[in-house]
Amino acid sequence: MFVLPDLTYAYDALEPVISSKTMHHHHDKHHAKYIEVLNQLLKDSGAAPATMEAAIRDAAGKNAKVFNNAAQAWNHAFFWLCMSGESKPLGGDLAAAIERTFGGVEALKTAFVNEGIGHFGSGWVWLAAEGDTLKVVSTHDAGCLVTEAGVTPILVCDLWEHAYYLDHQQDRKGFLEAWFDKLVDWSFAGQQYAAARGQGAAYAYPAAVPA
Ligand code: FE
């Protein structure tokens, strides 16, 4: 079975952009529910994937219920790590790649926010790498870059209303701008970018544990 990873910071660490109340609902209720449902589906079917990544890839295009719950479990775990209440500034190779691809971090912010507000309905907005090339993309509903060979996620932000409605109501643009300016853990993003170029391991969801 899979477990719900703890947050690596306090529930109120991301205030005022994301309130403690939102984090409790989002992590303890939404994220926990995806994992609870996934574990039940796997138990009922007798499947026992060793990793969340295998669960996602095995189910993609075949079993929508398992895929949706596994991918949402993965996306949320990754999303928590993309944020920090402390300043984790951009630097190094990722900063150079952002400069090269977008012309600077402000231009990346514009591309990221525009992708997020242009995305209809629920989903996720990503900064991703293919080798050393960066791109901004969005995925619908539970869509997850784990299924895309050769693509390494660098950052993700949750576009589902449950991510921002309590704190920002319908203002997805305001949420995305504040998220990008105040919450991004560029240290984590830098590790992902290094992994995309073969230096170190990319993020993996905690492996399944015995039931
Ligand atoms: Fe969410």
Ligand 1 centroid to residue 196 C-alpha, Å: 25
Q: How does pLDDT run across 84-127, given as a tens digit for each residue?
A: 999 999 999 999 999 999 999 999 999 999 999 999 999 999 99
Ligand 1 centroid to residue 65 C-alpha, Å: 17
Give me the pLDDT at residue 143, please: 97
How confident is the model over 33-58, as a mean pLDDT?
97
Dihedral angle of Cα 75, 76, 82, 83, to the nearest 10 degrees: 160
Give me the pLDDT at residue 40, please: 98
| Residue 89 Cα to chain centre, angstroms | 19
Considering the entire predicted model, what is its pTM?
A: 0.97
Ligand 1 centroid to residue 31 C-alpha, Å: 7
Q: How does pLDDT run across 155-171, given as a tens digit for each residue?
A: 999 999 999 999 999 99
Q: 38 phi and psi, to 5 degrees?
A: -60, -50
Average pLDDT of the chain is 97
Ligand 1 centroid to residue 98 C-alpha, Å: 26
Ligand 1 centroid to residue 162 C-alpha, Å: 6
Q: How does pLDDT run across 127-137, given as a tens digit for each residue?
A: 999 988 999 99
Closest CA to 82 of 172, 189, 211, 195: 189
Closest CA to 37 of 68, 74, 80: 68
Ligand 1 centroid to residue 186 C-alpha, Å: 21
Closest CA to 80 of 150, 148, 4: 4
Ligand 1 centroid to residue 181 C-alpha, Å: 20
Kindly tell me if the per-residue pLDDT of 78 is higher than 90. Answer: yes
pLDDT band at 45 (very low <50, low <70, confident <90, very high): very high
What are the Cα distances from residue 51, in Å, to 47, 73, 200, 209?
A: 12, 12, 19, 9
Ligand 1 centroid to residue 100 C-alpha, Å: 31
Ligand 1 centroid to residue 71 C-alpha, Å: 11
- Kindly list the protein residues that place their beta carbon closer than 5 angstroms to ligand 1, a single-atom ion: 158, 160, 163
Q: How does pLDDT run across 167-208, given as a tens digit for each residue?
A: 999 999 999 999 999 999 999 999 999 999 999 999 999 999
> What is residue 145's DSSP assignment?
G
Give me the pLDDT at residue 211, please: 82
Ligand 1 centroid to residue 82 C-alpha, Å: 13
Half-sphere exposure of 117 (CA within 13 A, CB side): 13
Give me the pLDDT at residue 132, please: 81
Q: Retrieve residue 94's tokens.
A: 């990722």
Domains along the sequence of the chain with CATH: 20-81 (1.10.287.990), 92-196 (3.55.40.20)
Burial of 34 (0-12, 13-18, 19+ CB in 10 A): buried
Over pLDDT 90: what percentage of the chain? 99
Ligand 1 centroid to residue 45 C-alpha, Å: 26
